[in-house]
Amino acid sequence: MIVSLFQAHVQRRATVVDCLNTANVPRSLPGSANFTQAIKPFNLRLPFTPVAVAVPSTVPQVQAAVACGVQYNLAVTAKGGGHSYASHGIGGENGHLVVDMKLFTNVTVDSTTQIASIGTGSRLGNVAIALFNQGQRMFSHGTCPGVGIGGHVGGGGYGYSSHTYGLALDNLVEATVVLANSSIVTASTTQNPDLFWGLRGAGASFGIITQYKFQTFPAPSSNTIFSYSYNFNQAQAAAMHKVLQDYANTTMPLEMNMRMFINAYSFGLQGVYYGSQDNFKKAIAPLLAKAPFTGGNGQISTKGWIDTLNNYAYGSLSTDLNYDIHETFFSKSLMTVNLTDAAMSAFWAYWNTNARSNTRDWYLIIDLHGGPTSAISKVADNATSYAHRNALLKYEFYDRVSSGSYPANGFSFLNGWVASITSAMNTTTFGMYMNYADPSLSTTDAHNLYWLKHYDTLTKVKKAYDPGMVFSNPQAVMLT
């Protein structure tokens, strides 16, 4: 049985490779250095082996690659930046035909409309530089320069400008998509609006996006960068958590973008205020007045747009074509609206008992995501398939090892930390952020947590545009 399955796999590879060859689609095949590089995942914990990797440079080549996958009954997966936490860019499982979009890196700003056309293989750092060099423009996106724009936008696209300018997907005005039948369609509010709705929150599930168009903004030239470092005990940490939640839900101004960063050694309150230092100090005063600070120090500076991005870039904004940064980790997320005092107490009790004694290189980020002044929350809940408009706080739990394998008994650490909240509020519906994909979730749980009440509508979009389930991974939108 094993031999016959292996023979079938080899035969499928041979036939699809012949198809790609006949269609003149550039490709990387097993055994080659290019293939090895292309399938090396960002998360080394989750390696998978595709049947082949197509490397198109034109839209017709993307169409041909999709046709080859369909002809030989292969799941087809687009790889943008390859930064997926769950290795979804290489299928999230073995045996896919991967279409590597890395050569689609055009960034062009229309000087009249200020709309930017961007290839979906582009990385955020390179996009930011190119936009700034074409009239000092920008749009809202994340901080890591090596992240590909394709998946980043499709799942949300959050960063240090989102509270002010919205998610990356909120700036999207049009997408060009290759469907399962190899046709090309435009998705926008006026053309295929149901597809456009689905792409903005569940982008990988319906086709291969070759180009995005974004409404850009003038890059803000004078921005206040701030960072406060503190050491909290358990009670102070819980009190600070409550202060942040209340601030997001009341007086936090539109111009403020903020997160709390926690690791084994310290707490950091950091972010960007789009305005002067004087106005920043007035804006943060209500929070500082209530915060349980003991000791600690703060740093405030003023930077231009590119220097603001560099401040939180974790590396050079300019990234190579073949991104080669990798880690070994397990990650989870949570989206919360209003946590009870009991839930916060349980959360920081878990931190005190379990996280502080964990010697791995873990961290927690709590972003002030929504609230009455947030550009994210001002967008109607049903305007896009992104399902977390009402979430005040967004959490990223990240646990990594510097070498070797992630321990088999390590998963309980973050699962338990998330459960400290969800168990304390067991009648509340929580969400999770798709761009921090957690492959330990069941398919059903992933659908419910990533897309909440939007999932049923997403299945209708799937049936309309990909009824044969050509574009799939273990957590993508399905037909039911």
Euclidean distance between CA atoms 358 and 352, whole angstroms: 10
Spatial CA neighbour of 142 closest among 118, 121, 166: 166
Looking at residues 307-319, what average pLDDT do you find?
Answer: 94
Q: Residue 6 above 90 pLDDT? A: no
| Residue 296 pLDDT class (50, 70, 90 cuts) | low
Supply the mean pLDDT for the chain. 95
Strands 27-28 and 184-187: unpaired
What is the share, in percent, of the chain residues with pLDDT greater than 70? 97
What pLDDT score was predicted for residue 5? 47
Spatial CA neighbour of 381 closest among 190, 187, 200, 246: 200
Looking at residues 48-61, what average pLDDT do you find?
Answer: 98
Q: Residue 141 above 50 pLDDT? A: yes
What pLDDT score was predicted for residue 9? 58
Amino acid at 264: A
- The answer to whether 417 touches 335, Cβ cutoff 8 Å, is no
Strands 97-100 and 52-54: parallel
Question: Nearest 5°: CA angle at 111, between 109 and 115?
Answer: 45
What is the share, in percent, of the chain residues with pLDDT greater than 90? 92
Euclidean distance between CA atoms 222 and 38, whole angstroms: 39
Q: Residue 10 above 60 pLDDT? A: no
Helix (H, G, I), strand (E, B) or coil at 246: helix
What pLDDT score was predicted for residue 1? 52
Q: Residue 334 above 70 pLDDT? A: yes
What pLDDT score was predicted for residue 264? 87
Q: What is the phi/psi pair of residue 106, to 5°?
A: -65, 140
In terms of residues, how long is the chain? 480
Strand partners, 330: 399
pLDDT digits (tens, 9 = 90+) for 194-252: 999 999 999 999 999 999 999 999 999 999 999 999 888 999 999 999 999 999 999 99
What pLDDT score was predicted for residue 298? 85
- The answer to whether 26 touches 101, Cβ cutoff 8 Å, is no
| Residue 292 pLDDT class (50, 70, 90 cuts) | confident
DSSP state of 286: H
pLDDT digits (tens, 9 = 90+) for 142-190: 999 999 999 999 999 999 999 999 999 999 999 999 999 999 999 999 9
Q: Residue 2 above 80 pLDDT? A: no
Q: Kindly give the interhelix angle for 234-248 and 277-290, rounded to the nearest 10 degrees.
A: 130
Question: Nearest 5°: CA angle at 51, between 104 and 122?
Answer: 15
| Residue 395 pLDDT class (50, 70, 90 cuts) | very high
What is the reported pTM? 0.96
For 161, residues 6+ apart whose C-beta sits below 8 A from its C-beta are: 138, 140, 141, 257, 272, 274
Please count the CA atoms within 13 angstroms of the CA of 331 that sit on its side-chain side. Answer: 26
Which has the minimum average pLDDT: 203-217, 232-246, 281-295, 331-345? 281-295
22, 89, 143, 178: CA torsion to nearest 10:
50
Looking at residues 358-378, what average pLDDT do you find?
Answer: 98
Phi-psi region of 296 (alpha: psi -120 to 50; beta: other; left: phi over 0): left
